[in-house]
Amino acid sequence: MPPTKTSFHLLRLDELSAAEIGELLSEAQRTRGQRSEEARGRVLGLLFTKPSTRTRVSFEVAMAQLGGQSVFLSSETTQLSRGESLAHTARVLGRYLDAVAMRTHRQEDVELVAAESRIPVVNALTERFHPMQVLADLLTVSSRRGQLHGLTYAYVGDGNNMANTWILAQGVLGLDLRLATPPGFGPDPTVLAAPAVRRHPPTLLADPKEAVRGADVVITDTWVSMGMEAEAADRIRLFAPYQVNAALMALADPDAVFLHCLPAHVGEEVTAEVIEGPQSAVWDEAENRLHVQKAWLRALWGGAS
């Protein structure tokens, strides 16, 4: 069944319009904590090639609360581990499942599964994008501050999948986003060239203080993502000036909200006093993964009002 409110796939955030993002966030807020039957008889496949806590649990709970089921499929426990091609796997899964949430290393792999499986595919994380996480972030900001527009957003740290997705979000929604990254670690140039981003470009900076000064939302992410462990020592040294600590947060608006998608390396990209402090919204942010994913699944199967 074609979805009524969302695009068929969700592989990157700029596949949604500003109106669709607004509908999803409103639906997530309205149905927070509710159980329903939109997914009754439906099965969501969780095709993961990377470890997960929040993504796996939130999707499994979302399907359970919608009356459906999920099947967890890791690369180690499927024939992918023995050399079956991803295209062949996707074609088979498309004949069993109603949708796939895929968490993997390469954006190209999610795009391949979407092309081959004939069922809706949602990007649950790749090295380039993390759309469900940023939807959860937006829900957190709107819940904490009562609005999305009229705020200044500061992203500090690595120009990674979170930075890329925040750039797409600000482009689609027309937000005020400043990014401070070390030289050579900026966001993906192709993301900056996306049509929505060209219309509403972010402010790119090298100085984290300049980015955070007066900001209403301060965002960071780990400096050493999965698969970068060999670079850890060099990255920690290069990114040290970009740590979100009490001194940096003091430059933000007094009511500023701190976001981190987790897991955090406390003492590296963020200090304990910030992530455990009163401005931190990271636990609400983690919970909101459940609510936005339920909203997307409900919209996918015609349940959104």
Residues with a catalytic annotation lie at 103, 130, 133, 221, 261, 289
Number of neighbours of residue 109 by Cβ within 10 angstroms: 19
Whether the Cβ atoms of residue 73 and residue 45 lie closer than 8 Å to each other = yes
Task: Report whether 271 contacts 156 (CB < 8 A).
Answer: no
Q: Rounded distance, CA 178 to CA 222, Å?
A: 18
Rounded to whole angstroms, how far apart are CA atoms 263 and 126? 16
Sign of CA dihedral 240, 249, 128, 97: positive
Q: Give the span between the Cα atoms of 296 and 111, in whole angstroms.
A: 18
3-state secondary structure 228-288: CHHHHHHHHHHHHHHCECHHHHCCCCCCCEEEECCCCCECCCECHHHHCCCCECHHHHHHH
Residues 6+ apart with CB under 8 A from 218: 154, 156, 212, 244, 248, 249, 252, 256, 257, 258, 259, 279
The answer to whether 163 and 222 are in contact (CB under 8 A) is no
Query: What whole-number distance in Å separates Cα of residue 134 and Cα of residue 164?
Result: 10
Residue type, 214: G
At residue 137, φ and ψ (nearest 5 deg) are -60, -45
In the chain the first and final C-alpha atoms are separated, in Å, by 16
